[in-house]
Structures are given as C-alpha cells and as structure tokens.
Amino acid sequence: MNTSSLLAWVLLLAPLLSAFMIWAFLKPFPFLSQIVSVGACAISFLIAIGVALGSIHEPVTINWIDIGGLTVQLGMVFDSLSKVMLLVVTGVGLMIHIYSMGYMGEDPGRSRFFAELSLFMLSMLGIVVATNFIMMYLFWELVGVSSYLLIGFWFEKPSAANAATKAFLANRIGDFGFLLGIIMFWTFTGSLMFDPSLSSYFKGHPLVTIMALLLFCGCVGKSAQIPLHVWLPDAMEGPTPVSALIHAATMVAAGVYMLCRIFFVLEQSEQALEVIAWTGGITALVAALTATQQDDIKRILAYSTMSQLGYMVMAVGSSATIAAMFHLCTHAFFKALLFLGAGSILHVLHHEQDIWKMGGLWKKMPLTFLTFFIGTCALAGVPGFSGFYSKDTILEMVGEKNKMLFWLGLFTAGLTAFYMTRLFVLTFMGAPKSEVAEHAHESPFVMGLPMVVLSFFALVGGYSVVGIEKALGTTHEAMSQAAKLNVMILSVLVGLTGVGIGAFAYWNKQKEIVIFPLFKNKFYFDELYELTLLKLQQLLAGVFAWLDEWIIGFGIVRGSAFLVSVGGELLRVFQTGNIRSYAFIFGAGAAAILVFFLISS
C-alpha cells in the first residue's frame, strides 16, 4: 500500500479512532475529548480537500467477505459525486463540531457527545465513499445507530428516549426494504458493486420495478419521506448541533445521495421513477403545509428539511440527479446555518423553543440575526442566494417531465417563502414577547464563527465560482433560454408573494391568525399510525402472547399429573444431587434402546 492509499483510509480511521479513544480513555476529560473529536474531523476535512484536488487517490480495496459467490469489498470511490459530498459532509461537519464546543460547553456528558459525533462522521463518510451496496448498507445502519444515540443524548428525558427509538424503528422499516432490494440486485447480477454496466443483467426484466422500489425504501426511511417521515420532527429532541448536522445537512440527505448512486438501477424502470417523483413531491407539499402552522422553531425547520428533501427526491424521480445533488449541497449549507442560528437562540433563551415567545431579537443578537437572515433568504429562494439557483434548477428539470409536479413544486416554493418569513418575523422582529426574550444576548464567538462561515456559503454557494454545479457536471444545456427565464420569473413571483403575505400577516402579531387543524396536527400521521399500524402490531403480539401462555398453561395442566408421578423420582435425584444413580438409569435406558434396535435389524 502506498502513502496516498493509506491517507485515503485515514479519512475513515480518524473519526473511528477518535470515537474509540474518547469512549475508552477520555470519558473523564471533556475538554480533551472535544479537541480529539474536532481534530479528527479536521483531519477528515483536509483529506477530503486532498481527494477533491486529486492528490489523494482511491485506495486498494479490501475483501471483507468473500465466500461462495458473495463478495463484499471495502473500498472507496472518488468520483465527482463523492468528492462534492465529501467536502460538504466534512466541511459542514467541521463547522458544527466547532460550534458544539460552545453549545455543549456546560453539558456534563459532552465527552459522550463528541464520541458519538465522531462515530457519526465515520458512518456518514463511509456511506459517501462506499463502492458497493453492502458497504453502503453497513454504514447506512451505523448512521442510524449514531443518530439513535444522539437523538437520545439526553436519555433521561422520556420524550428524547421515545424519539430515539422511533427514529431507529422507522429507519429499520426502510432498511428492511433496502436490504431486500440489495439481495435482489445481487441475485440479478451476482455482484454488489455500484457499476452501471451491470444494468444489462436486469434491463427490461419485469421485476426491476420492484427492485428499484425496494431500494427506494431505504431512502424513504433515511430521508424522511412519506410515509416513514414521522421520526424526523421528533428527532429534534436531540441537541441542536445534532439536528443541524445529522437531521438537516448530512444524514437525511444520505437517502438522496444513495438514489443518485444507484440511479443506474432506478432509470431502468419508468414506473419506479414516477413513484419516486410523486413521493418526493407530495412529501415536499405536505411538509411545507405542516410547517406553516407549527410554533416550535426547531420543528418548523425540521418540516422544512423534510420538504426540501422531498424536492430532491422529486428531482431524482424526474431523472435530474445533478439538480438533486446541487440542491443537497446548498441546502446543507443554509439549513445547517438556520439550525445553528436556532441553536444560538435557544442557547441564550434557556431552551425556549416557542416562536410566539420570542421577538425583537434582531437588536440583542445582531450576528445571529444577520446570518439567520441570509439562511432564510437562501431557503426562501430569494434571487442571488444559493437556494434560489438550486431550487430553480430542480423546478426547470421537473417541469420538463411532469407539469403537475412542476406546479406542485412551485406552490411549495411559495409556501416555503411564506413559513420562513413567518418564522423570521416572529422571532426577530417586533417587540419581545417574553421575559427571556427581553434578556437575550449574543452567543459566544466559537458559535458565531461557524455561522459566519456557513452564511458565506449559503450566500454564494449557488454561483459557479464555487463550482458545486460544475463539479457535478452540467445540468440543463438542452433547455432553451426562454423556458429557463419563464421558470425563473414564475418562481421569483411566487417567492415574493410568499414573503409578502408572511410579512404582512405576522408583523407584530401576538398569536396565530388563523388555525388549520389539519396542518397544525401534522396531517394526523402519528394518530393514524397509532390507530392502525401500531394497534395492529400490538394486537398481533397480544394474540400470539395469549396463545403462547395458553400453550404453556396447557402444558402445565396436562403435564402436572405426569410431573407428579415421574417428577417425584427425579426430584429425589436433585435433592440428593446423586449423579451416579441418574447416570445409571440413563445409561441403562440408552443401552436397552440400542440393543433393541440392533437386534431388531
């Protein structure tokens, strides 16, 4: 193995060692733990830069499992897709590691926090560089684990414990399908590699749609698409840096990344793509509608994340993988930024999350205000900010394929502008609406710095100077300039309308102006599942348990007479502990049977 090859493995080894060292040795030294964890992330970031510049090459693969026609390799793929993703994950990751030093500064469990954060970095980077399905599944499950641990970081809170379990289970259901899809792929091709040339094995096969949809299940769980989305809003129980890194910028986007990776499978089935596009579109719309009526700042952002993920999934379903990845990158910057801003607010407001108890923060927290403003503009799609370009690209591409989805996406864009304006106005503008908001002050520098860096990228991430789009390849040469212009004008108009209505309706308001119970109650998904699926599973378990008790009970009743007679003898064996007599009886019996059989033959 040469040096460059070894360096590539350091990408994964650094966070792995960090997690292990903190857990094994550094638990009692929180300051050292955070240095190690941040250092490990910085090393991964440097290597990601090396990879992006082309000075670090793909390492030699390792055969992890190789038996009877099943070969699982551990390797790394450095193509444009993974290079961009590596930079985003390690870059945003580093910012959030630094921010966490401030945010978690007083938490007694912060060693554990940083160990789990490193474990997350390892798993996430593993997904990005995976060369094959099983390697991806492996790290895919591990991000699920680290997400579980981090959502449940404050495990003494019952709500956090519930949210952690819920997240893991929803993801497991998705992974169930994902795994079936993977095994199907292997049955078709005899290989597990992400190799587009393998598609000749299943081209035109009637089962290819089923395989594609099963693989898509993994994304539905991880990227919180309807119907497995219910865990994401609850995941906000975790510390805010976790929400920013895992449940906004990177892990939830892994589903979209995976879809782009396996697009060579998905594109073989028009029906599967159609289902994917509609799943994404409906998720985008439902989440945006829900976001318009929420009061918890983190939940609004969570629904917004879900909605934006829906956008990306819709783009993949419309064969616009590059547009999806472009939006994934810009979204990672501005959504991480928004969460860090929200975290900064919560940090000084003593974890008051209700936007109706904020207000007037622009004066007290100027840096948070300014950076949050940039993030809001990017998300709302204000021209010139990064989100505008990536969202526009998606709308253009979707519009070419499916007009209905285009209008749905456009309407969602308007809603996005509306709910973000509502959030922004209620949080920063007007007069303070509570005691804590009165006494707010700016967060420490260590938290401010990452926000500044991220807002820079949220501002300029859309321009080709930064090169995200260029690195991924060209998106839309085929489209005429006129059509592009139309889409752009439409989306600007819709966005401005949303901003206008939001600002007009919520300026200086003290309480909600109009309540839509359907949106307020998140389309009753939790209640629906509670009543149907969970009840059904409980019923099944209850019936089986009853049956089981009955079988055992029956055995006891029927067996008791037998036990009394035979058992008396055996009991004596126990009480004396006399093994010899037991052994004798047993030996005699065995010998008798033996002789009987051999004679009878």
Partner 1 sequence: MSFVSVLLFVPLLAFIAIIFKVPARQAALGASLLNLFVSFWIYFQYDPKIQGFQFVQDIRWIQLPGLPEIHYHVGVDGMNLPLILLTTIVTLAAIIVAPEGIKRESEFYSYLLAISLGAIGAFVSLDLFFFYIFHEFALIPTFLLIGIWGSENRQFVSLQITLYLMVGSLVLLVGILALLVLLPQEARTFDIPRLIDYAKAHPLPISKEAVPFAFLLVGFGTLVSLFPFYTWAPAGYAVAPTPAAMLHAGVLKKFGLYGLLRVAIPLLPGGLEHWKSWLYILLLGNILYIGYVTIVQKELTTMLGYSSVMHMGYIFLGLASWNKIGISGVVVLMVAHGLSIALLFALAGEIKDRTGEIKFSELGGLGQRMPFISVAFVLASFASIGVPGLANFTGELLIFFGSWQAQPWITALAIWGIVISAVYQLRAVQSVFFGKLPAHLKDVEDLQGLAKKFPYLLLMASLLIIGMMPSSLLSVIKPTVEHYFSTN
Between 63 and 497, CB nearer to partner 1: 63
3-state secondary structure of 132: strand
Dist. CA 466–CA 450, nearest whole Å: 18
Q: Which region, judged by CB under 8 A, interacts with partner 1, from 181-189, 227-235, 261-269, 496-504?
A: 181-189
Between 32 and 183, CB nearer to partner 1: 183
Between 6 and 590, CB nearer to partner 1: 590
Q: Is 158 in the site for partner 1 (CB under 8 A)?
A: yes
Between 63 and 508, CB nearer to partner 1: 63
- Candidates 13, 17, 35, 161; binder of partner 1 (CB under 8 A) is 161
Dist. CA 597–CA 32, nearest whole Å: 72
Contact 43, 56 (CB under 8 A): no
Q: Which residues on adjacent β-strands are paired with residue 71?
A: 66
Minimum gap (Å) between residue 176 Cβ and partner 1? 5
Closest CA to 409 of 334, 338, 315, 503: 315
Contact 225, 281 (CB under 8 A): no
**Residues 133-152, mask of contacts with partner 1 (x by CB under 8 A):** -x--xxx-xx--x--xx--x
Q: Which region, judged by CB under 8 A, interacts with partner 1, from 92-100, 170-178, 273-281, 392-400?
A: 170-178
Under rule CB under 8 A, which residues in 518-537 are in contact with partner 1?
537
Under rule CB under 8 A, which residues in 536-575 are in contact with partner 1?
537-538, 540-542, 544-545, 548, 551-552, 555, 559, 563, 566-567, 570-571, 574
Under rule CB under 8 A, which residues in 20-49 are in contact with partner 1?
23
Under rule CB under 8 A, which residues in 576-595 are in contact with partner 1?
577, 579, 582-583, 586, 589-590, 593-595
- Candidates 26, 47, 89, 179; binder of partner 1 (CB under 8 A) is 179
* Whole-number Cα distances in Å, 41 to 34, 98, 103, 143: 11, 10, 17, 16
- Candidates 46, 169, 275, 488; binder of partner 1 (CB under 8 A) is 169
Between 11 and 410, CB nearer to partner 1: 11
Between 404 and 592, CB nearer to partner 1: 592
Q: Sign of dihedral through CA atoms 480, 485, 488, 493?
A: negative
Q: Which region, judged by CB under 8 A, interacts with partner 1, from 158-166, 224-232, 245-253, 257-265?
A: 158-166
Under rule CB under 8 A, which residues in 84-143 are in contact with partner 1?
134, 137-139, 141-142
Minimum gap (Å) between residue 397 Cβ and partner 1? 35
Non-local CB neighbours of 396 within 8 Å, separated by 6+ positions: 323, 476, 479, 483, 484, 487
- Candidates 2, 3, 480, 600; binder of partner 1 (CB under 8 A) is 600
Between 120 and 139, CB nearer to partner 1: 139
Buried/exposed code over 529-554 (b: 16+ C-beta within 10 A; e: otherwise): eeeeeeeeeeeeeeeeeeeeeeeeee
Contact 303, 291 (CB under 8 A): yes
Under rule CB under 8 A, which residues in 383-402 are in contact with partner 1?
none
Q: Is 485 in the site for partner 1 (CB under 8 A)?
A: no
φ, ψ for residue 71, nearest 5 deg:
-115, 120
Under rule CB under 8 A, which residues in 62-81 are in contact with partner 1?
63-70
Return the number of other C-beta atoms located less than 10 Å from residue 79's C-beta: 10
Tokens of 264: 């060579």
φ, ψ for residue 439, nearest 5 deg:
-100, 20
> How many residues at the interface with partner 1, by CB under 8 A?
72
Minimum gap (Å) between residue 353 Cβ and partner 1? 21
Q: Are strands 70-74 and 62-67 parallel, antiparallel or unpaired?
A: antiparallel
Q: Is 469 in the site for partner 1 (CB under 8 A)?
A: no
Under rule CB under 8 A, which residues in 197-216 are in contact with partner 1?
none
Contact 73, 62 (CB under 8 A): yes
Closest CA to 291 of 200, 415, 183, 382: 415
Dist. CA 56–CA 41, nearest whole Å: 17
